[in-house]
Structure 1
């Protein structure tokens, strides 16, 4: 009996040991498979990293080449980098300076000078604007004349007819046509000399002297928050339909008197408003005279945002910052 019990216990121990060995072998096999799997993944990651390094190197070379060419071309066109930026490698030049160089390359020549063709086009556009305004005046006068004659026709007495005819005559005489072509000089205006390089661009440069009221110079405007649209608006938009915040900003800036006269007064002259009307607004000391200018000019069909932008960047006004604000909202180029 004792020998049988001993044999039974030995068999149990043998089975237990074999089970342990089998479990250990399975664990080793699983660990080996995991190790192989991790090794394969590591090899793939190493290859991916190497590929990305090569692509990054190629992109770096391309960016450095483009930066070098932009800097060289900008310098050849007259753009000057600071000594600190000039000593840097093209790849280390700041993004801000690269943007400035690109802006200089694209728009530098346009800001410095205009060719005779562009000056001629601007002159013709100004004249067309003048003629459109005069046409609007003539249509308005015709309507007034027709209405006045109808009223006279239905007058019951001769006295009433004479009275209405007199008022009609006063109304017709009070509207002067083609006043933009007059070359009269007012004694309250100083005539400045046109520079030789602008002599082929005949635009009136008469501006009022610096006797403007002090309250206009120190007037504090309410700040206007400008948020340009995601997509720029058409440049042919009429100024009556201009973006409200932008229009308010333009009126506020042009209503401020400037020593060189490049404000609402010069804009009024350029769009064909008679000098006597501009003087009258000055005498009245209106709060926002630029608003009167835009309202008067707005009677013309050619009063577009693009035309306003061209007046602002003209050599006589050079309101570059204000023109830039408009170009942020509208396609004016």
Structure 2
């Protein structure tokens, strides 16, 4: 009887042991299943996010390179080419980023981070477009400034040519002495008129706004000073001048004055040119800041996804 009781106890003990062993195995299998499901979640969420974020960042770096090349370019054909290339790549980036946002929104990833990336990107695009527009305007305005400078220089040369005709005018013998005085004053006036050309060149090439406000007064002073010397001889020259050279000189001077005072004159055009130059610089600086922030946020997103 005692032997039977011992056998029952042994069987019962083994049964309990086997039960707990089976229970432990089932628990382990369940844990393994949970781990497997977690791995699948990582594979299905984090890895696509990482892959897409990497692709988006590469596209963004390409855009940054294009905008930098455009900023440093002065040839209008190349600027236009970079602009087209930038617009095309921006569309590709936008499409890829939309796909990235869908992945981010569908997983446990900080959506605020995605919003920060989007804001920085839109800021970058806006500032780059502003820079490109300014660069194109710069080219257009530079052309207008150069044309106006050439026109003013040509008018100043016409004044010089009129004065030269007087300087080398051959009077009758009895007016030789008088003509020497007239020619001397005309020659001095011609030398002073060169100041117009020098001032035009300074305005044409300046990179500073503070050079412009006094420019019109400088032109006026140069012309007035030059003609004051010529005016001293007009009475003397009047009885010698049979070809209306003095009148032709005054006509040439008035044309020059009118050109300098018209709107927009070379000063107005250069003022706008310098505004666009500063706008291009400022926009590129802001674009660089925005794209740096965007890349930084993409890096954070990559770390989060990993």
TM-score, normalisation: structure 1: 0.27
By relative contact order (CA 8 Å, sep 6+), the higher-ranking structure is: 2
More helix by share: 2
TM-score, normalisation: structure 2: 0.29
